[in-house]
């Protein structure tokens, strides 16, 4: 729906006039431009944030980041048709264990499950000829602009929903 509206608008813009030559660029309808490597880069951020949040025992943020990881994996699977099913199911178990660890607010259970998740990331990379992309347990957070410490009153907005 949106695409055709955009396209119609582009055509209309061209019809309005050659006086606006820069609009002609809009003649080609936009192509879907999500690249798997970009989805993976976002996934890398979430993998890191998930770890950092759990280290700070910010379980609410950890739960949120876990959802982002799941969504990123779902996007990746949608984009990449040749992914062996076993690689997807390998990730499933660790994701469920992380869910459980967050619900139980258990640091040790989280650490174990996160290690398994990371091994799952690497198993898929190896199986698709990307064994040179090696994920590790984060040693530090690159996100100096985000606090991972639980804050007072956190979660008020969410419980209102
Ligand atoms: C089912 C397969 C699969 C799983 C699972 C997977 N990846 Fe990937 N990943 C890929 C593929 C394929 C590429 C290479 C994409 C390309 O070359 O376009 C990739 C590339 C990457 C890259 C490189 C991106 C860049 O531009 O530098 C990172 C980082 C990455 N993955 C992180 C992760 C993390 C973190 C996880 C686990 C939470 C994960 N991946 C799980 C298949 C997978």
Q: What is the DSSP string of 96-109?
A: HHHHHHHHHT-HHH
pLDDT at 32: 55
- List of the chain residues with pLDDT < 70: 1-32, 84-85, 153, 155-161
Residues 24 and 72 in one domain: no
In the numeric block, which tokens belong to residue 58?
Answer: 């910010």
Q: What is the mean pLDDT of the chain?
A: 81
Q: Ligand 1, atom 17: nearest CA belongs to which residue?
A: 37
Q: Is residue 160 part of a domain?
A: no
State the pTM of this model: 0.80
Residues 81 and 53 in one domain: yes
User: What one-character DSSP code corresponds to residue 152?
Assistant: T
Q: What residues contact residue 160 under an 8 Å CB cut-off, 6+ apart?
A: none
pLDDT at 94: 96
Please report, for the domain that includes residue 79, its CATH number: 1.20.120
pLDDT at 12: 43
Ligand 1 pocket test, pick from 95, 125, 132, 137 with the greatest ligand atom count within 8 Å of Cβ, gives: 125
Q: Is residue 155 part of a domain?
A: no
Asked if 47 and 139 count as a contact pair (C-beta separation under 8 A), the reply is: no
Domain of 126, in residue numbers: 36-149
**Is residue 40 exposed (0-12), middle (13-18) or buried (19+ Cβ within 10 Å)?**
buried
Expressed in angstroms and rounded, the spacing between residue 50 Cα and the centre of ligand 1 is: 16
């Amino acid at each position: 729906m949106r695409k055709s509206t955009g396209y119609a608008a582009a055509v209309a813009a061209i019809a309005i006039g050659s006086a606006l030559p820069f609009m002609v660029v809009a003649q080609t309808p936009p192509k879907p431009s999500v690249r798997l490597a970009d989805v993976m880069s976002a996934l890398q951020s979430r993998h890191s944030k998930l770890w950092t949040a759990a280290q700070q025992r910010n379980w609410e943020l950890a739960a949120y980041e876990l959802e982002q990881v799941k969504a990123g994996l779902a996007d990746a699977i949608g984009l990449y048709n040749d992914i062996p099913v076993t690689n997807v199911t390998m990730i499933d178990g660790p994701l469920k264990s992380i869910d459980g660890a967050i619900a139980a607010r258990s640091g040790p259970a989280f650490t174990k499950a996160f290690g398994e998740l990371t091994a799952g990331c690497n198993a898929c990379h190896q199986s698709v000829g990307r064994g040179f992309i090696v994920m590790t347990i984060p040693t530090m957070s690159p996100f100096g602009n985000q606090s991972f410490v639980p804050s007072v009153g956190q979660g008020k907005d969410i419980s209102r929903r």
